[in-house]
Chain A
Amino acid sequence: MPDDVPGEGIPEPRPIPIPVPIPVRPITLYSRGGNLSSVPLAASTAPADLERILAVDTSNPFLQQLRIQQGLLKATDIAPGNLGRTPITSEIPEVPR
């Protein structure tokens, strides 16, 4: 029998729906947007082997020197034409000399 048709006696009480919890997001001044469920926890991820990954040449002469100093990169592994360029530390080269 449809609910809207009067019947005999007192109708059965309807079940009260249980509200679905809505994720609580903080009220903030600035927007975010990071979906952390897509970012692995560091504890479950082995560190990268940077001794191997950073053992490559770079065009940046500052970093090339730093990697050699830190033992990440061997000067002998860099082609002579790409090794030993003196970094420009300021715009001094523009000054007449």
Chain B
Amino acid sequence: MTSSSVDWRNRFGWPWLTQIKEQGGCGSCYIFSGVGVLEAMLRIEHFVWSLRSEGDVGDAISLYFGAHAKCQGGSPGEVLDWAVTNGVADPGCWPYDQGEQVAEPTADRLGRTGKLDGYVTLSGAGNMKQWIDANGPISACFNCYPELDGACKNDSVYIYRNPDNQPSDGHCIVIVGYDDTKNAWLIRNSWGTGWGTDGYGWFGYGQGAHGLENYVCYGILGSATNPDPWTKRRMHNGVLYESGDGQYHRNFEVWTPGPGHVVRHYYRDGSSGNWALAETLPEVTLPPGLATGYDGNGIPAATGSTYFRDFEVVYPTTGGKLSTGAAAPMLHHFLYDQLAGKWIDRGLFGPTDVDGIPAFIQTNAGAPGNFEVVVRRATGQLENWWRDDVDNNATWAVRSAFGQDVLWSGATLVERWTANGVPTVGTPAGLDLVSVTAAGTMQRWWRDDPSTMTWVSCETFGAGVDSPPVMIRSQFGATDETVPGNYELCVAVAGEIQHWWTPGNPQPGITATWSKSATFATNVAGQQVREVLGLIQSSYGFDLEVIAELGNGSLQHFWRDGGGWHPGPVFGSVSA
């Protein structure tokens, strides 16, 4: 039986809708309607704020339909047809503007589009309610009369009256709920927060030719949505990444060391929940005269990049088999080319005395965004390398060295939050990083991108830490797409995993308050946790997922849901 009321502005105790938008003086409501549904479903199914751009659709759809101009009107069905083929990018890739123009998105558009497999056409109130209740918001159009302009104030319900017999025009909105007590649908308009009740309004059921049920509506099944790597770039670190692969677009990918210096790729199928070995990364191609083989020698770090959603992996090397013969452990970069369907060796980079776990991310600096790596050297210093992905022919270069007596580097590099979360390409947001000191405490570092780009030491926290930490930015605390979520950090201490967090965007010069949320252990008899290898916030209801290495080299999956932390399956090994 369908629920008697639904309100996706806040349902199940969580917010699901981005801030109200404004189409301005442009007849583009149909785009806001279609894109609004995709945006909501990405959040509802994958638990991530994923702001999409109506301009990305509107300024490209003009070409798609020939002389059609985005402000001259259209239907959400046309928008969704286009989006099924092309996806919808974020405003940083190409923003919405009221003017008529041809889209010129950033070069990495294919890696920053929220995708959908298809959509469903709904007909009649029964269809509409059942879909809104059991899936999410829908796109709807109706005969709109001038009286709607001033309607829906203070949660009042709009009922067609039109005493002056004014003509109507077509208008499209998103239905984000309903209430059988009010006998009304809850609509999300694209007329700014000044319209209705903070941009929303109640629209009476029925009303025949003047009602929301008069025309078909459109819905997107949650499992048909697939968020982009750019949207999720802060929500994973280390060896673990949730890709868009699989039927439900929620596969987990893991890269770990294996015997014989290989790098293995495991995955968890999002349909079956089963872990399996996908492949071993190929042997490296060495210069003439040197042996071929594998050169992995440590914990990798991986990400999904905006280069066509490619997988990118960086791992420490043996050093002895490569380069010029001397033992020079460096970093090796591999990518999985999603278009070609194969791994590509992108060569060595980094210091020649790597002695730690690399942190590896793609930032918002440029489009495609730069890669940034921080790794511990044998000297006990941290070294920051970067790859300029726009202006320097994708060449790795050292940026700076910092710190001393560092015990562990870890996969803790996270891009800081720009002012108001504005997703402008190239906005210097800075980076945060956590390392482990020789004294066994954790140390946060901040890279001062707005000015000198130097690394500044911040607060320390924890004690007795004897392994590398992993850190992400989660969606907890992110009340909408403009608000930064918390930092979540997991680290193995004395054979157990500690989970730490701190709210928001810790400011430089201000000591952030870190709290230890939980300590948990493996359930494998006789084993302890050696180190945490990867951490994500997954599509599974804001859950945190951890991959850890046990004392015997086994790999174990842990997750945290509303019931706390749980030990999951053991699925592989770094030593067997």
List residues of A whose CB falls within 8 A of some B CB. 24-36, 38-43, 45-48, 50, 53-54, 56-63, 66-67, 70, 72, 79-82, 85-97
Contact present for B149 and A35 (CB under 8 Å):
no
Query: In the complex, which residues 72-106 of chain B have their Cβ closer than 8 Å to any Cβ of chain A?
Result: 72-78
Q: B170 touching A48 by the CB < 8 A rule? A: no
Is B391 among interface residues, defined by CB-CB distance under 8 A?
A: no
Q: How many residues of B contact A (CB 8 A)?
A: 94
Contact residues in A for B13 (Cβ distance below 8 Å): 89-90
Given B27, B270, B561, which contacts A32 in the complex, CB threshold below 8 Å?
Answer: B27
Q: Is B134 positioned at the interface, with any CB of A under 8 Å from its CB? A: yes
Contact among A70, A85, A95, A96 with B541 in the assembled complex (CB-CB below 8 Å): A85
Contact present for A42 and B214 (CB under 8 Å):
yes
Interchain CB contact (< 8 A) of A94 among B23, B172, B501, B563: B501
B539 touches A59 (CB 8 A): yes
B149 touches A42 (CB 8 A): no
Known: A26-B168, A86-B562. A53 touches B221 (CB 8 A): yes
B274 CB within 8 Å of chain A: yes
Q: List 9 A-B contacts (CB under 8 A).
A: A26-B169, A35-B74, A35-B75, A41-B214, A46-B123, A47-B123, A79-B272, A85-B541, A86-B563
Extra inter-chain contacts (16) besides given A24-B167, A42-B215, A85-B561, CB under 8 Å: A26-B166, A26-B169, A30-B149, A31-B26, A32-B27, A33-B27, A33-B72, A35-B30, A41-B216, A42-B216, A48-B123, A59-B45, A70-B2, A80-B273, A93-B564, A96-B517
* Residues of chain B contacted by A40 (CB below 8 angstroms): 121, 215-216
Instruction: State the CA gap A63–B223 with chains docked (Å).
Output: 12
B interface list, Cβ under 8 A from A: 1-3, 11-13, 23-31, 33, 44-47, 71-78, 120-124, 126-127, 130-131, 133-135, 141-146, 149-150, 166-172, 191, 195, 213-216, 221-223, 248, 250, 268, 270-274, 476-477, 486, 501, 515-518, 538-543, 559-564, 568-569
Known: A34-B29, A97-B564. A50 touches B1 (CB 8 A): no
B564 to chain A, nearest CB (A): 7
Q: A60-B222, A88-B542 are in contact. Are A32 and B73 (CB under 8 A)?
A: yes
Residue of B nearest to A29 (CB): B149
CB distance from A61 to the nearest CB of B (A): 4
Contact A59 B248 (CB under 8 A): yes
- CB < 8 Å neighbour of A39 from B77, B150, B168, B563: B77
Min C-beta distance of B254 to chain A, whole Å = 15
